[in-house]
Structure 1
């Protein structure tokens, strides 16, 4: 069994740091250009131990403002619905200028005082639950990908917590490379509170332990109900992976039509008919997710630094679309 830094991609590329596809001896990920991430990565010696040698404090010192900007953008998507009821009275304290001018010109009545009621529906998102399933196989590990995933999970967790949306985060791989099991690790359980301690735990787990093998991902959805509570009304599954199957192939069309992906697509369709909502987040240059999921985004070398915003925006759209249909 071939293990270590050059497993799958050849000694010259040191893991998948190289460019090009595996069939050509290089990794599925090219070099990045986004400046903030580039500077962050340049300061760290690449140690191919499937670990990012950085603390949460250091991570936030570098990306703190970036995360705050992301959270502010996403916050606008999740604002409580505001119901506005327009009412006008013949007496009051607040005059509506347009109504008053119409009254003076003889075109309106004397109800010129604005008594509009603004009602925020704070329970708008009640019943929404989100389950994140994150692949941690060594085939797709590199610093850029892992950093983007960490940023996406930190910002998503913050926004969902602030808006009281229950969520869970599970990571999966075949940690012992035995090809006979899936190690599904609950990083954050549905019922667990997301506080500073849990944030630190989540960060530390996402930056380490990327040495596992890829798995047959359709098995993760065979009991999809286990990720949600009986009270959930809108159930959203976010899968983050390259979706290349347990064994990557040279031709992308062969991967799209592989046994693994045919079975994964069948599980997605079956569970969509049971009112589960899926978002596929594809990683790398092979656009496979769009062939498996009705809703998907692709993270590549051109947009990896924007992964948190892309996931958050699409997640917000799905919540507002599907939850409003059920209420």
Structure 2
């Protein structure tokens, strides 16, 4: 099968289009014919070796954890799915090796859900990691009806899901973003503020009594800068800065595969409560360019590779 691989850590230049053996579907896995795969910042961070002390990496690596496709073959005990089912999932396994930037991927059933019929494969591939990260961090922070929530990087891959989920839960959402994304955020019901000096004052002008929760999807000091904005008993959750947990009593979130949470996201998208923003679609042979686009840090929504 055709696959994107790399055999050493490095820049996007190490990515190659190669011919790899067909994956085997274990007893609790299914073989998915990949129609599209999402690209996330963690993909190039793994590729550059930044997570070497955390993840078990086995070369050559097929990168990618997000997938949308069709079940080609079932495992020995996988009653959840049948051949021909359209699925999407966050296929993170116990080691980094056989990822989703390939024609086929073996996916444990715990990582998959049925793809809503209303979504294209490209849209579905944009959902799993970012959508689950948003959903699980919101759950961890306990966001609910009537809360005022500050979301950092509100127009990014994770942030764009988080603001919509929080709004669906009945929260008021203030979101940090560059000026060019303010109109789009307003269309989602978000009150946008710009990054940079004076951010705390701009948030206080909108929420003089403070915010009930902060969701940090950007890092770079956002946690420390946001803590003074919290009301008494407020909560902060970050996917980038462990200080949220270790210094400020909040939460440090690393997304987990969850078929149940994916089904919930699928329902929200299928009902129209959450929209999927696909920033750009690349072909498999151009996966290196997709990684470079992700590294630029100026993407609204998600980058997807069509297989």
* TM norm structure 2: 0.26
Would you tell me which structure has more helix in proportion to its own residues? 1
- Higher relative contact order structure (alpha carbons within 8 Å, sequence separation ≥ 6): 2
Larger Rg: 1
- The normalised TM-score by structure 1 is 0.25
Report which of the two has the higher share of strand. Answer: 2
